Amino acid sequence: MDRIDRRLLKALQEDCRQPISELAALVALSPSACHRRIKLLEERGVLEGYVARLNGKKMGYLIEFFVEVSLYSQSQDILRQFEDAARRVPEILECHLMTGQADYMLKVAARSTEDYERIHRDCIAQLPNVSRIQSSLVLRTVRHWSGYAVDTA
């Protein structure tokens, strides 16, 4: 990956809806050469996709929780069962296998505390092999993830 690729990646992270002509001008390439580079970045798996970032509050998700989940066992089969089931719960925004006290860290969005109670009871507690759940309410998000640091030098 060269400097031009990194500049393209940085620009796409900032706004992936930019026209190819603007991206090409930014990196001093023709639009067709710029398009070819982007396609190569996609084919190599560096660019995994393009998504719209929604405002959770405006969608009715007024609260978020980080949830630590411990399992009865950490065998590969038990981890796989948990992960497969967690992927099917739409309120789980993120699921990370962790080191430390808990096995997994979940990020969960809810419409209200009552809604979170339902998610906790009917979804998270019903995931396979769960032995402990510890929830922490997000009071305020100080910084949202906006992309990886890309060195363009």
Is residue 83 included in any domain, yes or no?
Answer: yes
Is residue 71 included in any domain, yes or no?
Answer: yes
Summarize pLDDT for 33-57 with one digit per residue, the tens.
999 999 999 999 999 999 888 999 9
Q: Are residues 75 and 129 in the same domain?
A: yes
Q: Are residues 14 and 72 in the same domain?
A: no
The model's pTM is 0.84
Is residue 13 included in any domain, yes or no?
Answer: yes
Is residue 32 included in any domain, yes or no?
Answer: yes
Is residue 143 included in any domain, yes or no?
Answer: no
Q: Residue 129's domain is classified under what CATH number?
A: 3.30.70.920
Structurally, how many domains does the chain consist of? 2
Domain that holds residue 10: 3-43
As a whole number of angstroms, the distance between CA 65 and CA 81 comes to 23
Q: Supply the angle between the helices 20-27 and 31-43 in degrees, to the nearest 10.
A: 100
Summarize pLDDT for 127-148 with one digit per residue, the tens.
999 999 999 999 999 998 888 8
